[in-house]
Structure 1
């Protein structure tokens, strides 16, 4: 019986499995594996655990593929200790993890920065006769790059090439991501240029990595040039292509250019991340444009988005300076309802401005706001 071939949602497949078990039938491992994989994607670990216990109870011993799915999911959820416990438990019970399972576990440990444990498994894997493949190498290289150990990363990279694994887009992206993570974008850009010289394809991740790296270092001209090159190559930009550019443009006072990128992003069907609104509001406030800053704030509320505390504080300050006191109080009320606090300096400035207007008005408005808090 092959339930996994039936086009059912995971929950429906699970209910069907329960009915089959009640009728005394036990499907093959592939059925359980399909459901376990589905529940892992839906982050329903309770169901995954239940299915594993059911398999064992029904003498359907979980295979390496089954456990690989579980370990992979645990690592993605940040439950590395639990994933490692399951992995070690498998070995204690006589299972022989294959290269795929070792790679999955090493990847999970490297992602969480546990390079010590990852290296132990690396050498254990080699001792058992498994030769690291390109993916395993890149996983360890990425792990060393994350902790700023580029010497070890380069040694592994050279070893990977000497073992006959070709330099690929993935391997270059791995090194460039690590370099940019630690502010070594110029080195990453040299690799970026080297890719072209060697005829290695530069994909969207390649461009996004360097664009983000340059933006972090304030090199907006270089970032924009790369963005234009990305478009010229026929690549479809992602949200992560636009976001760092919008942030940096707003920081350097080029808000109109940032808004242009925002519109381009929306026009091709991309949804900006929440923080992008904050960048634009702060950029507008830096230019003294309180009116449009308020419009973006209202748009966020209408879209059920929550601005950051820093954004709202900056907006209150700008509105106050522009004598838009009613709007200042509106934003202040939202801040208090959200649990945010206003900096003393901004608060004093607002109170002083209000006091120039009408003492009774000040007392009434602030009283209502504080009561609502």
Structure 2
């Protein structure tokens, strides 16, 4: 049987003339790619221990399939070495990649290697790799620069190298991108160099980049955290950014208001609140609470009432923090009864007063000498399930002592010693001092003994009162004094 030839007349003529095939069936592109793929699979499935044979395994795998190593193969080798922390074998791989291979090495290989050196705290090696990139037939760009900047900005030592790196990168033909500016600004804000961050952001805008809203918010937030900064600087920066297209969000305004309130600029915070409304933004209850706190701290109670009424008109629901701020303002005006009525309104609206609410009212009542009303409020707290704390007892103890009700003060002091752990309390000294002044030396010594048993250190005023006592109970004082001192030294 004669097999019919599949060759065309043109192919037959070529073979008769040149005595060879027009194209070698073993040198086509698909065959080269197939061999490289097979060599890479062989490399990946080869034993990787000991790791020093990894480079030789790469060379042998590709030589077996009569092909040249690929960038993917070198990337696999370098990744394997980094994952196994075999840093000592990386230089030999890089040397061969630089001197033997001819292909254009992808920049991503060096970006990954720079990040690895950074995580290993080998900043010097990361910088060396960055400067060597052109030797690998690769044009460096912002990709590798950003990787290095991210590494350098992670430590104070690296930050000092950033200016020189930027100068050298410019000589290498690398153009800073928006992402590069973002890394630098974030790092500067992180170390509190907000002034430099603002200058870089302005430079970024001058170079034609769009204003980054997140970066602007970060700079504004960092600026609000700076100490010794005037409120006008923060507000001025916000207005300047708004002129170049920055749309401030609720969080941005909240940061500015919080900063102004901390600076004691309650009226300025109120103006910022007004700007929010002019721009069509509805402030939330947090903003109103901060402004309310600011104007009350300034003693501007007229505006405080307006702010509180306004948030109610806008349909905002005050929380316990808002009510506490407003009640604090009422207490500062000695209008305690209005504060107590406000507690009733809170409960009717489903907002449960907390311990801070009651302690503020108790402090105001005790300051005004209304101890009977304060005791009623304490009973009311207990009935409503609001447990008293150490501060509650201190408030009552100070109030009772100031009024001269020493017996009741002793009862509260004993309750405090039984219920709370308080290693030092000035109110205790006041009670002991008052007892000594009235001649109740035995009671004073009894409470002093109980204080020592509870590991509470008497203050200087308590000891002074005992030392100055003369007449009744002098020997008792001397004996007890010596015993207590011995116990304290032993403890």
Is this contact kept in 2: 1:293–1:315, CA < 8 A? no
Contact 1:68 1:101 in 2 (8 A): yes
- State the match for 1:213 in structure 2: 364
Q: Secondary structure at the match of 1:190?
A: helix
Contact 1:142/1:174, CA 8 A, preserved across alignment: yes
1:187 corresponds in structure 2 to 338
The aligned residue for residue 427 of structure 2 is: 276
Q: In the alignment, which of 252, 264, 271 is matched to residue 403 of structure 2?
A: 252
Alpha-carbon contact 1:52-1:62 (below 8 Å) kept = no
Q: 1:176 aligns with which of 318, 324, 327?
A: 327
- Structure 1 residues 50 and 102: alpha-carbon distance in aligned structure 2, compared to 1, 3 A threshold: closer
8 Å Cα contact 1:220-1:248 kept in structure 2: yes
Does the Cα contact within 8 Å between 2:355 and 2:388 map onto a contact in 1? yes
- State how far apart, in whole Å, the 2-side matches of 1:305 and 1:87 are: 50
Match of 1:51 in 2: 191
Conserved? CA contact 2:264–2:294, under 8 Å = yes
Q: Distance in 2 between matches of 1:162 and 1:28?
A: 52
1:30-41 map, 5 Å: none
Question: Structure 2 length as normaliser, TM-score?
Answer: 0.48
Name the counterpart of 2:221.
68
Give, in angstroms, the shift of residue 283 of structure 1: 3.0
Residue aligned with 2:229, SS: helix
167-176 or 256-265, which moves further after superposition? 256-265
> Alpha-carbon deviation of 1:84?
5.8
**Is there any run of 5+ residues in structure 2 with no aligned partner, and where?**
1-117, 127-147, 156-186, 205-211, 482-491
What is the alpha-carbon distance in structure 1 between the residues aligned to residue 473 and residue 417 of structure 2?
Answer: 33
CA 1:240–1:164 in 2, change beyond 3 Å: closer, same or farther?
same
- 8 Å CA contact 1:115–1:143 kept in 2: the answer is yes
Which ranges of structure 1 fall in alignment gaps of 5 or more residues? 1-15, 33-46, 332-373
Change (3 A) 1:171 1:252: same
Contact map agreement 2:429 2:458 (CA 8 A) in 1: no
* Distance apart, 1:312 and its partner CA: 6.7
Alpha carbons 1:144, 1:150 under 8 Å: kept = yes
Bigger Rg over Cα? 2
Q: What do residues 323-367 of structure 1 show as CA deviations (whole Å, max 9, x unaligned)?
A: 859989xx9xxxxxxxxxxxxxxxxxxxxxxxxxxxxxxxxxxxx
Select the residue among 302, 319, 331 that pairs with 2:469: 319
Give, in whole Å, the separation in 2 of the partners of 1:305 and 1:65.
50
Deviation for aligned residue 1:68: 2.8
Offset, 1:69 = 6.1
Which residue in the other structure is 2:150 paired with? 26
* Structure 1 CA distance for aligned equivalents of residues 387 and 336 of structure 2: 23
Residues 1:243 and 2:394 aligned together: yes
Q: Distance in 1 between matches of 2:219 and 2:457?
A: 40
Which of 151, 155, 180 is 2:302 aligned to? 151
Equivalent positions of 1:1-373 (< 5 A) are 19=121, 24=148, 26=150, 51-53=191-193, 56=197, 64-65=217-218, 67-68=220-221, 71-72=224-225, 74=226, 79=227, 81-82=229-230, 85-86=233-234, 88-89=236-237, 92=240, 97-271=248-422, 274-290=425-441, 293=444, 296=448, 307=460, 311=461, 315=465, 319-320=469-470, 324=474
CA 1:320–1:196 in structure 2 vs 1: closer, same or farther (change >3 Å)? Answer: same
CA offset digits 1:218-270 (Å, max 9, x no partner): 11122122122222322232332221101112223443433443444454445
Q: Distance in 2 between matches of 1:320 and 1:48?
A: 67
- Cα deviation 1:183-230 (Å, max 9, x = unaligned): 211221221233334443222122112111111111112212212222
Q: Indicate conservation of the 8 Å contact 2:424/2:459, yes or no.
A: no
* Matches of 1:69 and 1:185, distance apart in 2: 39
Aligned residue in 2 for 1:6 = none
- Name the CA shift for 1:262/1:195 in 2 (closer, same or farther; >3 Å): same
C-alpha distance in 1 between matches for 2:254 and 2:329: 19
Match of 1:166, SS state, is: coil
